[in-house]
Amino acid sequence: MYLNLSINTRIIKSTCLLLLILLSRQSGHCLAIVNGVVQHTALWKPVLYLSYINSFDDIFRSAGVMVKDSARIDTNGEFIFLLQNSKPGIYRIQIQSISSGLPTEINLGIPGENYIHIYIYGTRDTITIQANGAELNRSYQIQGNPECILFQQIRDLRLPFFDTLRSSWSTLENAPSVLSENYPLSGRVILQPMETTLQNVQHALYTFIDSTTNPIAGLLAVAYCQLSLKDGTCDSFLEASADKWSQTDSTNTYIRSFIKNIRDQKIHLSTGSVVPDIILPGTSGYQNYLSEIQARIILINFWTTSCQECCTLNITLINPLLRRYRDQGFTVFSVALDVDNATWQGIVEKNKLDGIQVTDVNKISASTTARLYRVQNVPDLFLIDSEGYLIARNPDPRQLEGLIRAYLESN
């Protein structure tokens, strides 16, 4: 009689895991277990990294976030973290590509988001994850405590945008007419589904934030949607949410750092404030100064080459607008937050991106420029006048041309 070695191996692992749980509880140790299966290819390192998130600002940050543990992914895709006396709070699991040098490096561009957020109580907690390493955030399914389930529900609210973006990008790759000198109808057709879906997703996240009784899940929803950083019109809504959550737990470090985040945002980058100068190298290697640009109105465009939404906006919206209004005094200052200089230059050349193209090789979470502008997700757009005063941050793409035209006509 032949034995199925694969099945027997899994039975042995499950038995050992059960024994570990029983022994830890009998000995009085507080053991949290995070395990599961993550399928990966040769393009990804067979390792998962677990980091503790200290504050609201660290949810999407790489620099300054310390790895607490790592787990090897075996040939079956199985992994396990055994955490003794772990601190209760938000944790982040990440997988890294073979070209990545930093365990906490985070990819924010949809659909290649390489992270999962979980919550660990710190005692007798068991969390099980199933995922595809190539699309870790988009694909994962989780079993565990109530916060983990709510975290996945937040991710599920974003899934329609993942799907619409993938469809739009596929259409764009087969629509060379969007690169024409005019503002083509095909570009608008490609953007329209994205804009509609994004608006629906943001509304769903607003509803979740407003209705949830769990402040930790509410804070993660805010961070995922980037409401506090990308839409100044929602300040009052966020402040009301912060007040509600602080009444639930006034000592919670995530809530307190969130309140500070809102206050800092209002002080540093409110409409009418002067934005910081940017000094970064362009495609030729020479430094470019934002403050030295001679233009009546400037669009600062933070993006990454791995973000399909960014690349779609560059080709179908930003490039055509620049060609249409450049002679009237409009220009674009595009800041690519990429570590691979060659890939960035290749994308700029392939897509014939106009305007001033610069790069910050430190990526979003480690970039001084991104920190000054409080950029935590991309695309992130800032429309400023010739003296550096902020006119609008992340205006609706359907309204961007109207804002530019109105300013040029009245100034």
In this structure, the answer to whether residues 262 and 293 fall within a common structural domain is no
Identify the pLDDT of residue 312: 87
In this structure, the answer to whether residues 394 and 288 fall within a common structural domain is yes
> For residue 128, what are the contacts with CB-CB under 8 A and spacing of at least 6?
34, 35, 36, 142, 143, 144
**Total of domains in the chain:** 3
Other Cβ atoms within 10 Å of 83 Cβ, number: 18
In this structure, the answer to whether residues 14 and 88 fall within a common structural domain is yes
Cβ pair 201, 161 in contact under 8 A: yes
In this structure, the answer to whether residues 130 and 201 fall within a common structural domain is no
- The residue among 117, 144, 171 that closes a domain is 144
In this structure, the answer to whether residues 356 and 334 fall within a common structural domain is yes
- The residue among 248, 268, 288 that closes a domain is 268
Q: pTM to 2 decimals?
A: 0.73
Identify the pLDDT of residue 229: 43
In this structure, the answer to whether residues 134 and 222 fall within a common structural domain is no
Residue 356 lies in a domain: yes
Identify the pLDDT of residue 42: 82
> For residue 405, what are the contacts with CB-CB under 8 A and spacing of at least 6?
325
Residue 226 lies in a domain: yes
Residue 251 lies in a domain: yes
Which domain does 60 fall in, by range? 5-144
In this structure, the answer to whether residues 130 and 173 fall within a common structural domain is no
The CATH number covering residue 116 comes to: 2.60.40.10
In this structure, the answer to whether residues 211 and 254 fall within a common structural domain is yes
In this structure, the answer to whether residues 219 and 325 fall within a common structural domain is no
Tens of pLDDT, residue by residue, the chain (411 residues): 434 444 455 555 555 555 555 555 554 556 899 999 999 778 889 999 999 999 998 898 877 788 999 999 999 999 999 998 888 999 999 999 887 778 888 876 666 789 999 999 987 789 999 999 988 999 999 999 999 999 999 999 988 888 887 777 777 666 655 544 444 555 566 777 877 888 888 889 989 999 999 999 999 998 887 643 444 556 677 778 888 888 888 788 998 888 887 776 665 667 888 898 999 999 888 999 999 999 999 999 999 888 888 888 998 899 999 999 999 999 999 999 876 788 899 999 988 999 999 998 776 667 788 888 888 778 899 999 999 999 998 888 888 999 999 999 988
The CATH number covering residue 298 comes to: 3.40.30.10
